[in-house]
Chains A and B, each alone.
Chain A
């Protein structure tokens, strides 16, 4: 198993700074600081708790103070690989909502698209500005050795978690300013500007002059509301709800105290189904009637575009390496985890014969629920799960049980290794880029492989060292 801090008894180069820091502070002092960090989170991120209703403290996602670190060259590969992936996914979306060359070429079966719940027929024939459908892509990565980093999943709809990345850094730099004074750690401040720039770059054809941006939230009862208001603040744009917006002559307006104000680019953090009751769900109270027509007429750009989800489900995932070759003519920089599709007869047979050693997931599942982790399951659990696969083979995929890398966390007994993953956020506008960091989730329970916050996962500040520091 690969540990990101220790190579046997030796501390890996990137983590020297942590080794010194822990020795200097002492575990006892760090444990005390942990409480301080918690109260800092409550203060600057007071809304984490507030929006959890009744100030429920358990709704704070646990923060582990030991940073997770990447060296310059490690990061360079993650960065190039994530950008490549986002570019291919956008090319794929552009293609399947127009000529479907990849289907004609026999690389992806047509049923994968038309039979897909996330495919939106109303979007067919619409090409958004710059051909970008998924302006923010979250790429979930896992590491199994010094050189092996796999893509576990893509998130092309409305990936969340960036506010933790920025807040974690804020808390760390307030509590341990000395760590950042050496300028070895690349800053993450640019995210809001980067996203705003990308949104400005995709202004719709009808927009003349500087586009007006806004962020659409389902409202303050939504569990991610804090992130929505945080991002709107970072970009200095209005945080709107469906009821604040209306469509007239294919343009979108917000209701303000000075009369209607036009919105040109809308970063929506609500699901497709609730965007436009006229196009998707007549029973929905949320959403803006007519906004899809306005989008298709070039009156507004929706970020991420509706229908982008067709590129990120677990069945399409297996085709992404082919997409990279097909659209970009490149080899994937970050490989997929080998995956068996139970929809395929050969794969199905293999999966059913090897359940005790595989991880099986629902194609449409999320949040780490409904998974079978073979090596950790009882015979009975495996048998029950096998019946579910048998009943609906198309609904499942399987992967080998990966030995996820571990990173140190602070415990009562000193540093201890826990499994981690990483979600960088790739932004596509005029160019495709990302800030030098990402969301590191950590399974706080010893031995656990599930990093989801709903199941005992926490988060860490994620550092990327600059080139000089990495060579030191």
Chain B
């Protein structure tokens, strides 16, 4: 397969997944905002959403000014932000358009229609209290529709494996960032750790990862940091955990085929990461400091993506949507 085709499928898939994850993050921010606050305490949830979405550098104001009024706009409509929902939809569609012959009309039509809708959508009809939740549900459903059409209509060949690869890399990265949100949300007083507000914040993290119900089924106990970390990092039964993501990456690489020395090296790196996750315990992660551990994981995933790109001849690491088209 041409490397350019692999590149287009990989990034189409990443942007679809990212569009959905940004919607989840916004949803979490929106929910946290409604949590009870102590009098005079400064709210930090919107700041944490900006950091977790990886938009720190594109966010136009100082981080202290991150608020309900600025963050949703930046993450949904801002064209200067390559990870805004609008730009994700555009980039997914543009990458698909260049790869049209490698896709089915079902997948293409869905991406094309999503972009057509978003293109004409106006902030004033979207970002209000009730409209926002409705809109975010719509975005998530568009992502699900693309994934469904991919599952039901795309040939299981090398191209499909690159779509899978993009999805799993993006999802692992996003779950790590969602977990990290909790680190950046300040509790009003240190004595609140383990208190009611702490509990509610962890619950919102689970909700952002679509995992609150799963948590109850799997752990049958009240929400605590150990349980959340286990579910979102180490539990292979969770569709969004880091170990599931890295297992997906390894499986996609086997499906793509490992031909050259560079490809063998990058495959070995992915397998090593998977084995690390399989042999690590929750205690070890919390001991290392969750934030530090997550930071290490995110940089490892990104390094892996870059190395994969070099080995298979595509842009593995972040490119702006315009650049990915050339």
Contact of B4 among A51, A229, A244 (CB under 8 A): A244
Contact B158 A257 (CB under 8 A): yes
Q: Is there a chain B Cβ closer than 8 Å to A243's Cβ?
A: yes
Nearest A-chain residue to B108, judged by Cβ: A50
Contact with B along A226-261 (1 / 0, CB 8 A): 000100110000111101100000000011111100
Q: Which residues of A contact B11 (CB under 8 A)?
A: none
Contact with B along A272-304 (1 / 0, CB 8 A): 000000000000000000000000000000000
Asked whether A257 and B101 contact (CB < 8 A) given A50-B108, A243-B326, the answer is no
Which B residues are in CB contact (< 8 Å) with A244? Answer: 2-4
B289 CB–A CB distance under 8 Å: no
Residues facing A in B94-140 (CB within 8 A) are 97-98, 100-101, 105, 108, 112
Which residues of B have CB within 8 Å of A238?
2
Which residues of B from 237 to 288 have beta carbons under 8 Å from A?
256-257, 259-260
Most buried by A among B2, B158, B257, B260: B2
Tell me if A46 counts as interface (CB < 8 A to partner B).
Answer: yes
How far apart sit A256 and B311, CA to CA, in the bound complex (Å)? Answer: 10
Q: How far is the CA of A334 from the CA of B30 in the complex (A)?
A: 76
Given contacts A46-B105, A50-B108, A243-B326, contact A255 B4 (CB under 8 A): yes
Q: Which of A220, A258, A259 contacts B100 (CB 8 A)?
A: A220
Interface presence of B313 (CB below 8 A): yes
Q: Is A47 at the interface (CB under 8 A from chain B)?
A: yes
Contacts A50-B108, A240-B2 hold; do A257 and B100 have CB atoms under 8 A apart? no
Q: Are B105 and A257 within 8 A (Cβ)? A: no
Residues in chain A near residue B209, CB distance under 8 A: none
CB of B77 within 8 A of chain A? no
- Taking CB as reference atom, which chain A residue is nearest B313? A255
CB < 8 Å neighbour of A258 from B97, B112, B257, B326: B257
B41 at the interface (CB under 8 A from A): no
The distance from the CB of B151 to the nearest CB of chain A, in whole angstroms, is 21
Question: Which residues of chain B are near A51, meaning CB under 8 Å?
Answer: 100
Count residues of A near B (Cβ-Cβ below 8 Å): 22
In contact, A239 and B108 (Cβ under 8 angstroms): no
A219 to B1, CA, bound (A): 17
> Chain B's nearest CB lies how many Å from the CB of A253?
11
Given contacts A47-B100, A256-B313, contact A243 B259 (CB under 8 A): no
Q: Is the CB of A254 within 8 A of B2?
A: yes
B97:A220 contact, CB within 8 angstroms: yes
Complex CA gap A255/B3 in Å reads 6
Number of A-B residue pairs having CB atoms within 8 Å of each other in the complex = 52
- Which single residue of chain B is at the shortest CB-CB distance from A55? B112
User: Can you name the residue of chain A whose Cβ is closest to the Cβ of B314?
Assistant: A257
**Given known contacts A219-B98, A220-B98, A229-B100, A257 and B1 CB-to-CB distance under 8 angstroms:** yes
Question: B166 to nearest A CB, angstroms?
Answer: 13
When the two chains form their complex, are residues B98 and A257 in contact, meaning their CB atoms are under 8 A apart? Answer: no
* Main SS at interface, chain B: helix
Interface set, chain B 25-70, CB cutoff 8 A to A: none
Is B97 touching A257 in the complex (CB atoms < 8 A)? no
Q: Find out whether the CB atom of B98 lies under 8 angstroms from the CB atom of A256.
A: no
Check A257/B6 contact, CB under 8 A, given A220-B98, A229-B100: yes
In the complex the two chains form, is B101's CB within 8 Å of A243's CB? Answer: no
- B4, B108, B312 interface centre (most CB from chain A within 10 Å): B4
**Once the chains bind, are B98 and A258 in contact (CB under 8 Å)?**
no
Q: Which residue of A lies closest to B1 (CB)?
A: A257
Contacts of A254 in B (CB 8 A): 2
CB distance from A19 to the nearest CB of B (A): 38
Is the beta-carbon distance between A233 and B2 smaller than 8 angstroms? Answer: no
Closest B residue to A285 by beta carbon equals B326
A46 to B103, CA, bound (A): 13
Q: Could you tell me the distance in whole angstroms from the C-beta of A430 to the nearest C-beta in chain B? A: 29
Known: A220-B97, A229-B101, A239-B101. A259 touches B259 (CB 8 A): yes
**Chain B residues, Cβ within 8 Å of A239:** 101
Tell me whether A233 and B105 are in contact (CB under 8 A).
no
Given A238-B2, A244-B4: A258 touches B259 (CB 8 Å cut-off): yes
A255-B313, A258-B259 are contacts. A243–B100 as well, Cβ < 8 Å? no
Distance A97 CA – B312 CA, assembled complex (angstroms)? 42
Interchain CA distance A259-B256 in the complex, whole Å: 13
Give bound CA distance, A232 to B102, whole Å.
13
The residues in B between 136 and 172 inclusive whose CB is less than 8 angstroms from any CB of A are 158, 162
**Chain B contacts for A256, CB-based, 8 A:** 1-3, 313
> Are the CB atoms of B260 and A258 closer together than 8 Å?
yes
Q: Are A50 and B2 in contact (CB under 8 A)?
A: no
Q: Which of B4, B108, B312 contacts A243 (CB 8 A)?
A: B4
Residue of B nearest to A228 (CB): B101
Q: How far is the CB of A270 from chain B (nearest CB, A)?
A: 16
Given contacts A257-B256, A257-B313, contact A241 B4 (CB under 8 A): yes
Cβ contacts under 8 Å, A50 to chain B: 97, 100, 108, 112
Using Cβ atoms and an 8 Å threshold, which residues of chain B touch A47? 100
Q: How far is the CA of A239 from the CA of B2 in the complex (A)?
A: 9
Given A229-B100, A233-B101, A239-B101: A259 touches B260 (CB 8 Å cut-off): yes
CB-CB under 8 A from B162, the residues of chain A are 257
Could you give, for residues 303-323 of chain B, a 1 whenever the CB lies within 8 Å of some chain A CB and a 0 otherwise? 000000000111000000000
Chain A, Cβ-Cβ closest to B258: A258
CB distance from B113 to the nearest CB of A (A): 10
Chain B: CB-nearest residue to A53: B97
Query: From A51, which residue of chain B is reached at the shortest CB distance?
Result: B100
**Min C-beta distance of A286 to chain B, whole Å:** 11
Q: How far is the CB of A258 from chain B (nearest CB, A)?
A: 5
Q: A440 CB to closest chain B CB, in angstroms? A: 27
The answer to whether B326 touches A257 (Cβ under 8 A) is: no
Q: How far is the CA of A219 from the CA of B6 in the complex (A)?
A: 16
A432 to B105, CA, bound (A): 38
- Contacts A50-B100, A255-B2, A255-B3 supplied; 18 other A-B pairs, CB < 8 Å: A46-B105, A47-B100, A50-B97, A50-B108, A50-B112, A51-B100, A55-B112, A220-B97, A220-B98, A229-B100, A239-B101, A241-B4, A255-B313, A256-B1, A257-B6, A257-B256, A258-B1, A258-B260
- Between A and B, 10 residue pairs with Cβ closer than 8 Å are A51-B100, A219-B98, A220-B97, A220-B100, A229-B101, A239-B101, A244-B4, A254-B2, A256-B1, A257-B2
Give the top 6 A-B pairs by smallest Cβ distance, nearest first: A255-B3, A257-B312, A258-B259, A255-B313, A229-B101, A257-B1
Which of A's residues lie within 8 Å of B, judged by CB? 46-47, 50-51, 55, 219-220, 229, 232-233, 238-241, 243-244, 254-259
